[in-house]
Amino acid sequence: MRSIAGVSIRNGRVFVARRARGGPMGGTWEFPGGKLEPGESDAEAIVREFDEEFALRVAPGPTIGESGFVNGVKPYELAAVMVEFDGEPPALREHDEYRWVGAEELVALELSDSDRSLLAFVLPLLVDRVE
């Protein structure tokens, strides 16, 4: 199964959101995204996910990296897809907070394990890189 994570960088900081408490992985931070629906491309999925989760129109860019993870017993591929959008999210439908963070704060956040696997691709893009 394939999932995508949207990576948006603005002024050397990356967009992350905290999943609302009570749901799966509630309280953890992530690069927003989700599972692809049948027949859907990475770009189509990231546009749909940002619309569903934040009421945001995003412009998908290139895939910057991929990793794998296991949820239960099911293996997943996770692709980090660059996205651009203007302004700030008008709605938080599945999250209770969002932030634009630099590398140091990103590493310190309680990220989901799957999203932590993408740090090798994201950290080099941030202004305050962690070496």
Q: Count the helix, strand and coil residues of the chain and give each as a percent rounded to the nearest 5.
A: 25, 40, 35
126 within some domain: no
130 within some domain: no
How many separate domains does the chain show?
1
Write out pLDDT tens, residues 80-93: 999 999 999 999 99
For residue 129, name the pLDDT band (cuts at 50, 70, 90). low
96 within some domain: yes
Give whole-number Cα distances, 92 to 19, 84, 86, 97, in Å: 10, 18, 16, 7
Cβ-count burial 90-101 (b if 16+ within 10 Å, e if not): eeeebbeebeeb
14 within some domain: yes
128 within some domain: no
CATH number at residue 18: 3.90.79.10
The predicted model scores a pTM of 0.92
Please report, in angstroms and rounded to a whole number, the separation of the first and last CA atoms in the chain: 32
Write out pLDDT tens, residues 6-47: 999 999 999 999 999 887 778 999 999 999 999 999 999 999
Q: Which range marks the domain in which residue 57 is found? A: 2-118
125 within some domain: no
